[in-house]
Amino acid sequence: MNIAFAGTSIYTADDVPEINALVISHDHYDPLDYPTLRALQSKVKRVVAPLGVGAYLER
């Protein structure tokens, strides 16, 4: 549906270091990109999110 601008997809989840706290502020498509969240899941120690967003993540 959305295509990144040329040159903006130079990093992958493998390039991201361990994350102490991932803060997700709202439930729009951009912070809830499922493939990215799945790719980062093993690197995230704690997720901070509103209750409704937390329900998405638990599901």
pLDDT in tens, 16-50: 999 999 998 887 766 677 888 899 999 999 999 88
Q: Where are the domains of the chain?
A: 13-58
In sequence order, the β-bridge partners of residue 21 are 46
Of 19, 59, 21, give the one whose Cα is nearest residue 42: 19
Overall pTM > 0.75: no
CB atoms inside a 10 Å sphere around CB 49 = 19
Structure tokens at 28: 């729009």
3-class state of residue 45 by DSSP: strand
Q: Determine the straight-line distance between the first and last CA of the chain, rounded to whole angstroms.
A: 23
Mean pLDDT of 53-58: 80
DSSP 41: G
What confidence tier does 10 reach under pLDDT thresholds 50, 70, 90?
confident
